[in-house]
């Protein structure tokens, strides 16, 4: 490789690093057991009271199962296990997790998960994302965003629900990810959730991809 080629490589690497926002270089909050493979479910109320507690899923009426504990035809979206949500006495049967944001600067969030249900029901699956500016803020979220979808009647297919790149307040310290199904749609059967994913600073990730495309054009 010639000196000129080396210089061009060094220049491109430097430009690329300069284009990556500092927020992307810091680690985002991590979901504990996003595929429901390794942790036991915990106390539902304990996630939010008396203060937020991280690192586990709290459930109202749920279980972590494999195909043996599922309706016929339902298999995990990936891995060996999935979350099975059964009806409760309220409007929605929920499972949630609190995530500390810490010192990482986060301006936007995307949260997604895969939903399925027993045949022949088509219940509405819901994801809600709430933010808080302190560990004792339950009941006073600083922002709330949600997305929902009616799953189809086939147990062999999964539907993805996404709360897509929503802006969150600059003072956010905690994020509460809430997954669930409408009880009226579940009836006496069950819904399933798997592979929860969190992306922080999704707007910056999109900008980085655009910048990288421009950089490749300059390099070529």
Q: Which of 149-153, 183-187, 199-203 has the lowest mean pLDDT?
A: 199-203
105 or 151, higher pLDDT: 151
Other Cβ atoms within 10 Å of 47 Cβ, number: 23
Give the model confidence (pLDDT) of 36-92 as tens digits.
999 999 999 999 999 999 999 999 999 999 999 999 999 999 999 999 999 998 899
What are the residue ranges spanned by the domains of the chain?
Answer: 1-21+204-220, 29-200
Taking only Cα atoms into account, the Rg of the chain, rounded to an integer number of angstroms, comes to 21
pTM: 0.81
Q: What is the CATH number of domain 29-200?
A: 2.60.120.260
The 3-state secondary structure of 164-198, one letter per residue: EEEECCCCCCEEEEEEEEEHHHHCCCCEEEEEEEE
**28 falls in which pLDDT band (50, 70, 90)?**
low
What phi and psi, each to the nearest 5 degrees, are found at residue 201?
Answer: 55, 50
- Give every strand in the sheet of 58-59, ordered side by side: 42-43, 58-59, 92-100, 174-182, 124-132, 143-150
Burial of 14 (0-12, 13-18, 19+ CB in 10 A): exposed
pLDDT in the model for residue 214: 39
């Amino acid at each position: 490789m010639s000196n000129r080629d080396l210089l061009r490589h060094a220049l491109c690497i430097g430009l690329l690093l300069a284009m990556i926002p500092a927020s992307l270089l810091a680690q985002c909050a991590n979901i504990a057991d996003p595929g429901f493979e390794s942790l036991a479910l915990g106390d539902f109320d304990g996630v939010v009271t008396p203060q937020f507690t991280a690192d586990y899923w709290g459930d109202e009426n749920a279980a972590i199962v494999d195909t043996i504990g599922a309706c016929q035809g339902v298999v995990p979206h990936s891995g060996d296990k999935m979350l099975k949500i059964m009806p409760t006495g309220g409007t929605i049967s929920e499972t949630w997790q609190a995530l500390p944001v810490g010192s990482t600067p986060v301006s936007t969030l995307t949260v997604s998960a895969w939903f399925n249900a027993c045949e022949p029901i088509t219940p509405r699956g819901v994801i809600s994302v709430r933010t808080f500016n302190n560990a004792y803020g339950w009941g006073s979220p600083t922002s709330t965003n949600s997305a929902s979808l009616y799953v189809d009647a086939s147990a062999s297919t999964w539907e993805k629900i996404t709360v897509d790149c929503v802006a969150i307040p600059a003072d956010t310290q905690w994020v509460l990810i809430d997954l669930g199904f409408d009880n009226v749609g579940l009836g006496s059967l069950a819904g399933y959730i798997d592979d929860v994913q969190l992306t922080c600073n999704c707007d910056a990730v999109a900008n980085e991809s655009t910048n990288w495309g421009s950089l490749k054009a300059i390099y070529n």
